[in-house]
């Protein structure tokens, strides 16, 4: 062993003991006859002292150490005269008697500190140095801790972790698959799983009753800011359960993580908000419940008074920004500019100030009487000192834009604190979404989701109206997981594929094994898949999942550290029986 203790371990009580430490030179300072070195490892930082008077040669040796050198030192633990209360080892230092350079280091391309001067590209290229930064270590260790607690909890609830295969079959539904040419079966391909969906359902058919897995999944999508081609799910499935049994079980997992990871006791049932209500009240299917500021429908009140934009709108809605009646023109302009950004897509913003004296002043005063405006104020529950913000247009788009505006105002008013967590279930999603482009329905969740029993009669005749027995777990405006009660009946599954425009032949070719399995005694079942990367990021207080993944890809799907993807050899092409298109 290269050490007797770690760099995070020594305290005053070790005073006088002879110890050996090993680690990286964080920094070194020469002060008169002394040289101080901060030695770092995963566990912490310990101060080393070299004294010119005691051992000149050793001290001179120490003065040649640069940042990130790997060294081994031995010496005596001493109480510091100048204690550092910021670190757990701050009461002591080591008076060094022996120094051994285990590996020198060239100057790193950026500083190895939380506040680094390294840009994204450089940090990705030297990811092994980036991962040395304490903040990155904290993220990766949080991820480990969460994975452990997930497994501990699921195991305690009788769930079995079963590994499902990575080399599976390409399917026509969902996102684009990554494929893997087979050498032993020339001309044929495996696909990497977008999720272990069909396998976990087969495990329910096989009687495994409660399954989970923390598992890598793959999607060959054009990468938006926060997508990765490979990502990790907490994948779960249960048999002989109804929707609320599923929600209870997975809510238990969430509460366990809140408690063990964050020390937050959530001792209420997560609210269950129907999709339609979420859209109407929050303009999104993943509402942030840390603050209210609901969207109010003013369509009936505000139409027909001669204001063209409103009169022509399908929908007029408003949010009430509490205490913002005195916003300056500049501030209102900034909010207007926000909603008019292309990604929000608003056409404009109408503001209504409710002055502290109760009078109301709007930007559309010439079209509306005070009573009209008062009716809006009443509908929105606004009070003196508040500011109403109205948008109008196509219903769906306007609700979405108001939802974005709501979040923006939440930020401005600091209503979204990092240390407050508001989980909820969004339920009763539509089963299908119509796509104008391809002229067909797509499954909103996936094609194995059961329609709600009440809507079953509409399924063959009016599938667009059918609600799904599906649910999402949303925390602070972030979708953490989604699941559903599954179809477990062969004929219903066939009908579902038909509604999705799959021919009988296609359905059989791609999912015949599943429909066949349903004929041999399939239990009622359902489950969920949580986005593990996202959950860790949420708990780490991060917006991006990239910082909770040890070795992520960049937006072009490249790992610039190992430089992949890359060319393969002629021999590999020959063996696989493929070649590049000219």
In 157-242, which residue ranges form alpha helices assigned H by DSSP? Answer: 197-205
Min dist CB 476 to a second copy, Å, is 24
Cα(385)–Cα(383) distance, integer angstroms? 6
Min dist CB 502 to a second copy, Å, is 14
Complex with a second copy: residue 397 or 495, whichever CB lies closer: 495
Cα(231)–Cα(498) distance, integer angstroms? 30
Cα(436)–Cα(184) distance, integer angstroms? 41
Peptide bond into 565 cis (omega under 30): yes
Cα(566)–Cα(557) distance, integer angstroms? 12
Complex with a second copy: residue 63 or 152, whichever CB lies closer: 152
388 with 376: CB under 8 angstroms? Answer: yes
523 with 488: CB under 8 angstroms? Answer: yes
Complex with a second copy: residue 340 or 495, whichever CB lies closer: 495
Cα(315)–Cα(109) distance, integer angstroms? 55
Complex with a second copy: residue 199 or 291, whichever CB lies closer: 199
Complex with a second copy: residue 92 or 150, whichever CB lies closer: 150
Min dist CB 188 to a second copy, Å, is 4
Complex with a second copy: residue 18 or 152, whichever CB lies closer: 152
Complex with a second copy: residue 290 or 558, whichever CB lies closer: 558
Complex with a second copy: residue 337 or 550, whichever CB lies closer: 550
Min dist CB 511 to a second copy, Å, is 9
Cα(211)–Cα(207) distance, integer angstroms? 10
Cα(336)–Cα(389) distance, integer angstroms? 9
Min dist CB 129 to a second copy, Å, is 6
Helix (H, G, I), strand (E, B) or coil at 334: helix
Taking each helix axis from N to C terminus, what angle separates 329-339 and 395-412, rounded to the nearest 10 degrees? 130
Min dist CB 174 to a second copy, Å, is 14
Helix (H, G, I), strand (E, B) or coil at 43: coil
Cα(301)–Cα(373) distance, integer angstroms? 9
Min dist CB 136 to a second copy, Å, is 8
Looking at residue 165, the DSSP 8-state letter turns out to be: P
Complex with a second copy: residue 23 or 393, whichever CB lies closer: 23
Min dist CB 15 to a second copy, Å, is 24
What dihedral angle (degrees, nearest 10) is formed by the CA atoms of 12, 17, 18, 20?
Answer: -50
Please give the backbone phi and psi of residue 223, each rounded to the nearest 5 degrees, phi first. Answer: -85, 120
Complex with a second copy: residue 56 or 176, whichever CB lies closer: 176
Min dist CB 249 to a second copy, Å, is 10
Min dist CB 205 to a second copy, Å, is 5
**Residue 346 exposed, middle or buried by CB count within 10 Å (0-12, 13-18, 19+):** buried
């Amino acid at each position: 062993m290269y050490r007797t203790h770690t760099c995070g371990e020594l305290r005053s009580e070790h005073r006088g003991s002879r110890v050996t430490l090993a680690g990286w030179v964080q920094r070194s300072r020469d002060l008169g006859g002394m040289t101080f070195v901060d030695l770092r490892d995963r566990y912490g930082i310990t101060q080393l002292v070299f004294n010119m008077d005691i051992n000149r040669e050793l001290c001179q040796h120490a003065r040649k150490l640069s940042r990130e050198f790997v060294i081994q030192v031995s010496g005596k633990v001493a109480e510091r005269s100048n204690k550092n209360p910021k670190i757990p080892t701050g009461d002591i230092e080591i008076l060094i008697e022996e120094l051994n350079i285990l590996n020198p280091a060239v100057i790193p391309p950026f500083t190895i500190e939380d506040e680094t001067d390294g840009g994204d590209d450089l940090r990705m290229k030297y990811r092994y140095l980036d991962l040395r930064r304490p903040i990155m270590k904290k993220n990766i260790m949080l991820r480990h801790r969460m994975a452990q607690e997930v497994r501990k909890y699921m195991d305690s609830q009788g769930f079995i972790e079963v590994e499902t295969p990575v080399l599976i079959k390409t399917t026509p539904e969902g996102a684009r698959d990554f494929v893997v040419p087979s050498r032993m079966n020339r001309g044929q391909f495996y696909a990497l799983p977008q999720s272990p969906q069909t396998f976990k359902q087969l495990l329910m058919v096989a009687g495994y009753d409660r399954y989970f897995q923390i598992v890598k999944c793959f999607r060959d999508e054009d990468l938006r800011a926060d997508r990765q081609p490979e990502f990790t799910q907490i994948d779960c499935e249960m048999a002989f359960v109804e929707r609320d049994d599923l929600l209870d079980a997975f809510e238990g997992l969430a509460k366990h993580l809140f408690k063990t990871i964050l020390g937050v006791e959530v001792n209420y049932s997560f609210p269950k908000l129907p999709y339609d209500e979420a859209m109407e009240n929050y303009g999104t299917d993943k509402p942030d419940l840390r603050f209210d500021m609901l969207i109010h429908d003013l369509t009936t009140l505000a139409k027909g008074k001669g204001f063209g934009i409103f009169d022509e709108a399908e929908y007029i809605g408003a949010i009430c920004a509490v205490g913002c009646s005195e916003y300056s023109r500049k501030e209102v302009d900034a909010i207007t500019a926000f909603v008019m950004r292309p990604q929000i897509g608003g056409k404009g913003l109408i503001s209504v100030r409710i002055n502290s004296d109760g009078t109301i002043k709007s930007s559309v005063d010439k079209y509306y009487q005070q009573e009209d405006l008062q009716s809006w104020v009443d509908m929105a529950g606004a009070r003196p000192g508040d500011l109403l913000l109205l948008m109008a247009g196509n219903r769906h788009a306007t609700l979405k834009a108001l939802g974005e505006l709501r979040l923006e105002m939440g930020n401005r008013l600091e209503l979204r604190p990092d240390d407050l967590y508001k989980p909820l279930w969004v339920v009763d999603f539509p089963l299908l979404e119509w796509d104008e482009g391809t002229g067909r329905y797509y499954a909103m969740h996936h094609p194995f989701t059961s329609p709600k029993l009440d809507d079953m009669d509409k399924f063959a005749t009016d599938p667009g109206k059918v609600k799904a027995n599906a649910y999402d777990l949303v925390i602070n405006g972030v979708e953490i997981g989604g699941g559903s009660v599954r179809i477990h009946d062969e004929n219903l599954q066939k009908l579902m594929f038909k509604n999705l425009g799959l021919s009988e032949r296609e359905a059989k070719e791609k999912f015949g094994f599943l429909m066949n399995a349903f004929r041999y005694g399939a239990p009622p079942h359902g489950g969920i898949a949580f986005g593990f990367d996202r959950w860790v990021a949420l708990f780490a207080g991060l917006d991006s999942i990239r910082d909770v993944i040890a070795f992520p890809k960049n937006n072009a799907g490249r790992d610039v550290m190992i430089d992949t993807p890359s060319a393969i050899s002629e021999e590999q092409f020959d063996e696989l029986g493929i070649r590049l298109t000219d």
